[in-house]
Amino acid sequence: MRITVLAGGVGAARFLRGLRQAAPEAEITVIGNTGDDITLFGLRICPDLDTVMYTLGGGINEDQGWGRDGETHRIRAELAAYGASPDWFTLGDRDFATHILRSQLLAEGRPLSAVTEVLCRRWRPGVRLLPMSDDPVETHVVLAGPGERRVVHFQEWWVRMHAETPAAQITASGADRARPAPGVLDAIGAADVVLFPPSNPVVSIGTILAVPGIRAAVAAKTVAAVSPIIGGSPVRGMADACLAAIGVDTSAAAVAAHYGPGLIDGWLVDDQDKAASDDPALAGIEVRALPLYMRDLPATTAIARAALDLALELR
């Protein structure tokens, strides 16, 4: 069986760990969001790709869900001693090594997809991990509020500002000119089913879908998606701030309606949100309710299994 998954960071990585357990024989291709990517200190950082790679490769910091296990922060302290900025993005020493090597390989002219493959040779994530595009796409946030219209990189809004300043608009800068990375459209086309983990619908899944060609390829397949909203709140992160920026309510039903029946076929919601199945806006989407907190690997495996089963049923 071939499963293709569009993936953000922490939520997707955990879901994928469950999916690997739920479907150990499946050939899983992961199309990772690169809109969060940022260049800091001259190094190219791909937070979502790394979170998936470290999590599936056994090198993740389990407590925080991102970054490396057993991490130290000596380089960061040194850069601060030099007065180098920014100081708001936490990069550990082990993590720096990944960015150093990635940047070196990119500078040698290799595309991000090839570089990701090199990095994955070490981590053996058990899935094929592809960036959505080899072309640079960066999610930018137009800040709402008084004064001049100010645009910041998504990471600055998310990490430095904790998404506390409302966003007037969120744009995937460069997405319109980006091409899907080699293998991306093939992996979607060849998939038996496509799954959306409980990733951010705006800045993770939404950004991947913004790369020309990907949305249409996904829409042609049977797609089951897992709600990242439980009982009116994001399970993790600040997806509500992103949804507000695009005028979508923070509810499981509203997110499904936003994706639309033209894109997703099945929608897994938490038991708390089972009323979504009666929502007329979700006509044409099969809604199924179950416990959706990925509290441990067995619970996560059950969720992944349910998403896969739903997609297979709807084919």
Residues 6 or more apart from 171 whose CB is under 8 A from it?
Answer: 139, 140, 141, 142
Close Cβ partners of 15 (under 8 Å, ≥ 6 residues apart): 5, 7, 197, 198, 226, 294, 300, 303, 304
- Contacts with a copy of itself by CB under 8 A: the residue count is 27
In single-letter form, the type of residue at position 128 comes to R
Nearer to a copy of itself, 41 or 89 (CB): 41
Interface with a copy of itself includes 75 (CB under 8 A)? Answer: yes
Which of 23, 26, 86, 100 touches a copy of itself (CB under 8 A)? 100
Of the two residues 81 and 283, which places its CB atom closer to a copy of itself in the complex? Answer: 81
* Helix 10-22 with 297-314: angle, nearest 10 deg: 80
Run of H or E residues at 111: none
User: In whole angstroms, how close is the CB of 123 to a copy of itself at the nearest point?
Assistant: 9
Does 87 bind a copy of itself (CB under 8 A)? Our answer is: no
Closer by beta carbon to a copy of itself, 83 or else 280? 83
Cα separation, 266 vs 288, in Å, equals: 8
**Long-range CB contact pairs, 292-296, < 8 A, 24+:** 292/198, 292/226, 292/227, 292/230, 292/235, 292/268, 293/230, 293/235, 294/11, 294/14, 294/15, 294/18, 294/198, 294/235
Please list every residue from 268 through 297 that binds a copy of itself, using CB under 8 A: none
The single residue among 45, 119, 205, 282 that binds a copy of itself, judged by CB under 8 A, is 119
- Pick the piece of the chain touching a copy of itself (CB under 8 A) from 74-82, 132-140, 165-173, 227-235: 74-82
Q: In what order do the strands lie in the sheet with 150-153?
A: 150-153, 138-143, 167-173
The yes or no reply on residue 110 touching a copy of itself (CB under 8 A) is no
End-to-end Cα distance, the chain: 13
Does 34 contact a copy of itself by CB under 8 A? no
2 binds a copy of itself (CB under 8 A): no
Site string for a copy of itself, 122-151 (x = CB under 8 A): x-----------------------------
Scanning 45-53, 80-88, 175-183, 217-225 for contacts with a copy of itself by CB under 8 A, the matching segment is 80-88
Partnered with residue 68 across adjacent β-strands are 60
- Identify which of residues 104 and 233 has a Cβ nearer to a copy of itself in the complex: 104
Residue 97 is a binding residue for a copy of itself (CB under 8 A): yes
* Binding-site member from 82, 147, 164, 247 for a copy of itself (CB under 8 A): 82
Which of 56, 7, 67 has the alpha carbon at shortest distance from 34?
7
Query: Segment contacting a copy of itself (CB under 8 A): 119-127, 142-150, 212-220, 264-272?
Result: 119-127
Residues 205-244 that bind a copy of itself (CB under 8 A): none
Residues with Cβ within 8 Å of 146's Cβ and at least 6 positions away in sequence, in order, are: none
DSSP 229: E
Where does this chain bind a copy of itself (CB under 8 A)? 41-43, 72, 74-75, 78-79, 81-84, 93-94, 96-98, 100-101, 103-104, 107-108, 118-119, 121-122
